C-alpha cells in the first residue's frame, strides 16, 4: 500500500531555518525529519509519495543519497493545492487504500494497529486523534462511543470545539474518498472533504492512541522534540561525525563537523552541521543553523541563528532570531530589516 506525506508548505513559523531548507528536512536527532518518518512506517507500505512544492530539489537530493528500501515518488504540485488537492494530485500513484500523513508530526502512533482498527470498523476513512488543551490551533472531532466521527471543525474558537480530541495528522483512506476531491484546485481535506465523508458515508472513524504526539510547527516544539527523543533513547547528547568538542555538551545534539572550543557550554540546544563555536561561549535552548561561526565570549539563550551567520565576540543574543541575509524570493510574509524578532 501507499503512504502520501504532505510535505509542501513553507514552514513559516520555523523561519529562518526554513528560509534555506524544506521543513521536512529539518534534522531530528541528526536525521532529516522525513527520513525519520519514513523509517517508522509499517511494512505494509511499499510506496511513499512525497507531495511537495517548496524546495523540491533539496528533497530530491536527500533521497538520492539515502535508500529507504521503499519506492519513493516525489510529486511536485504546479502550485500548492492544499491538503486535499495534493492527495488528488497523487491519484495515479494510489491503490485501494492508503495513508495520508502530515510531515510535521512526531508521534508514537502504531499505524499497523490503525489499519486493524480501520478494517474492524469497515471505515471509509480513519483519522488519528489526540487530546489537547489548546484545541483552537487544530482540527477538532466530535466522536461517538463507537469511535465514529460525527462532526469535524477546523481551528474552532474554544467555545465552538465539540471535544478536546484533535486531528493528529494521520489518515487512512479508502480510494473512494478521492471522488470527493475536485481536480486542479486548492482543496482543504479538513474543511471540505472530512465533512463530506461524514455526511455521505457515515463511516468516518477516529483512532486514539497512547504515548506521545508532538507537532513540529514552531521552534519551541522543534527543540522539544529533539530533547524528548534524546531522553527516550536514554542519551544525554549526540555528537555527529567529524566533530571536535573541547567544551561541555548537555542535553543537546550536534551535527557533523562541529567544533566546540574550551570552556564552552552547550545546553538543551540543536547545532546543525559545519558549525564552529569558539572558547568561552554559552548556548542554551537554542538552534544554530548550518555553517555558522560563533566567536569567543558569546552568550546565546532562547534564540535561533539562521544558516551561514557569524556572531561576533562578546555578543549576547537572547530571545531572538538572527537572519542578516535577504529573505529568499517568493517566501511568504516579507519582513522589514534583517534581524527578525519572534
Catalytic residue IDs: 155
Mark residues 273-312: x for contact with ligand GDD by CB under 6 A, - for none. Answer: ----------------------------------------
Cβ–Cβ < 8 Å for 98, 175: yes
Q: 47 to 86, contacts with ligand GDD by CB under 6 A?
A: 51-53, 77, 80-83, 86
C-beta of 178: minimal distance to ligand GDD in Å?
Answer: 15
104 binds Mg ion (CB under 5 A): yes
Contacts of 277 (CB under 8 A, 6+ apart): 247, 258, 259, 260, 261, 264, 266, 271, 283, 288, 294
Q: Measured from the CB atom, is 217 or 328 closer to ligand GDD?
A: 217
C-beta of 102: minimal distance to ligand GDD in Å?
Answer: 4
For residue 131 the three cell numbers come to 487530546
Mark residues 104-133: x for contact with ligand GDD by CB under 6 A, - for none. Answer: xx----------------------------
In the sheet with 321-322, reading across from the earlier edge strand, the strands are 237-239, 252-254, 270-271, 287-288, 304-305, 321-322, 339-340
Q: Which of 128, 167, 268, 282 binds ligand GDD (CB under 6 A)?
A: 167
C-beta of 93: minimal distance to ligand GDD in Å?
Answer: 13
Q: 182 to 201, contacts with ligand GDD by CB under 6 A?
A: 190
Does 16 sit behind a cis peptide bond, omega within 30 degrees of 0 on the bond before it? Answer: yes
Cβ–Cβ < 8 Å for 304, 20: no
**Per CB under 6 A, which region of 62-70, 143-151, 164-172, 264-272 contacts ligand GDD?**
164-172
Contacts of 132 (CB under 8 A, 6+ apart): 138, 164, 166
Cβ–Cβ < 8 Å for 128, 209: yes
Dist. CA 59–CA 77, nearest whole Å: 14
Phi, psi of 220 (to 5 degrees): -60, -45
Q: 201 to 240, contacts with Mg ion by CB under 5 A?
A: 217
Q: Measured from the CB atom, is 103 or 286 closer to ligand GDD?
A: 103
Q: Measured from the CB atom, is 147 or 217 closer to Mg ion?
A: 217
Number of chain positions touching ligand GDD (CB under 6 A): 26
Contacts of 59 (CB under 8 A, 6+ apart): 7, 22, 24, 25, 34, 50, 52, 74
In this structure, the strands spanning 125-131 and 31-32 are: unpaired
Q: Measured from the CB atom, is 170 or 300 closer to ligand GDD?
A: 170
Q: Measured from the CB atom, is 80 or 147 closer to ligand GDD?
A: 80
138 binds ligand GDD (CB under 6 A): yes
Return the one option of Mg ion, ligand GDD, none that residue 143 interacts with (CB less than 5 to 8 A, by type): none
Which residues of the shown chain bind Mg ion in the complex (CB under 5 A)? 104, 217
Binding-site ranges for ligand GDD (CB under 6 A): 6-9, 51-53, 77, 80-83, 86, 102-105, 138-139, 154, 166-167, 169, 190, 215, 217
Amino acid at each position: 500500500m501507499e503512504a502520501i506525506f504532505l510535505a509542501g508548505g513553507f514552514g513559516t513559523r520555523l523561519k529562518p531555518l526554513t528560509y534555506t531548507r524544506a521543513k521536512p528536512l529539518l534534522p531530528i536527532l541528526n536525521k532529516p525529519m522525513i527520513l525519520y518518518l519514513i523509517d517508522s512506517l509499517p511494512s505494509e507500505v511499499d510506496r511513499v509519495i512525497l507531495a511537495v512544492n517548496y524546495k523540491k530539489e533539496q528533497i530530491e537530493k536527500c533521497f538520492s543519497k539515502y535508500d529507504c528500501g521503499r519506492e519513493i515518488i516525489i510529486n511536485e504540485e504546479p502550485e500548492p493545492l492544499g491538503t486535499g488537492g495534493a492527495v488528488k494530485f497523487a491519484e495515479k500513484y494510489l491503490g485501494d487504500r492508503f495513508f495520508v500523513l502530515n510531515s510535521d508530526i512526531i508521534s508514537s502512533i502504531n499505524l499497523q494497529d490503525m489499519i486493524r482498527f480501520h478494517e474492524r470498523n469497515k471505515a471509509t476513512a480513519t483519522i488519528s486523534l489526540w487530546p489537547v488543551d489548546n484545541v483552537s490551533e487544530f482540527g477538532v472531532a466530535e466522536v461517538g462511543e463507537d469511535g465514529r466521527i460525527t462532526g469535524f471543525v477546523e481551528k474552532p474558537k474554544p467555545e465552538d470545539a465539540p471535544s478536546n480530541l484533535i486531528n493528529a495528522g494521520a489518515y487512512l483512506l479508502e480510494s473512494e474518498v478521492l471522488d470527493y476531491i475536485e481536480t486542479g484546485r486548492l482543496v482543504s481535506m479538513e474543511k471540505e472533504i472530512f465533512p463530506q465523508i461524514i455526511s455521505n458515508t457515515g463511516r468516518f472513524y477516529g483512532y486514539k492512541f497512547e504515548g506521545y504526539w508532538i507537532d513540529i510547527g514552531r521552534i519551541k516544539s522543534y527543540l522539544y522534540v529533539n530533547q524528548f527523543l534524546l531522553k527516550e533513547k536514554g542519551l544525554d547528547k549526540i555528537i555527529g561525525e567529524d566533530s571536535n568538542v573541547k567544551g561541555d555538551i548537555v542535553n543537546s545534539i550536534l551535527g557533523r563537523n562541529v567544533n566546540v572550543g574550551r570552556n564552552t557550554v552547550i545546553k538543551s540546544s540543536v547545532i546543525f552541521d559545519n558549525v564552529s563555536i569558539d572558547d568561552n561561549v554559552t548556548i542554551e535552548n537554542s538552534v544554530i543553523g548550518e555553517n555558522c561561526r560563533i566567536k569567543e565570549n558569546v552568550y546565546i539563550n532562547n534564540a535561533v541563528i539562521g544558516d551561514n551567520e557569524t556572531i561576533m565576540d562578546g555578543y549576547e543574543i537572547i530571545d531572538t532570531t538572527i537572519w542578516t541575509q535577504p529573505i529568499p524570493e517568493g517566501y511568504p510574509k516579507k519582513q522589514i530589516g534583517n534581524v527578525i524578532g519572534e
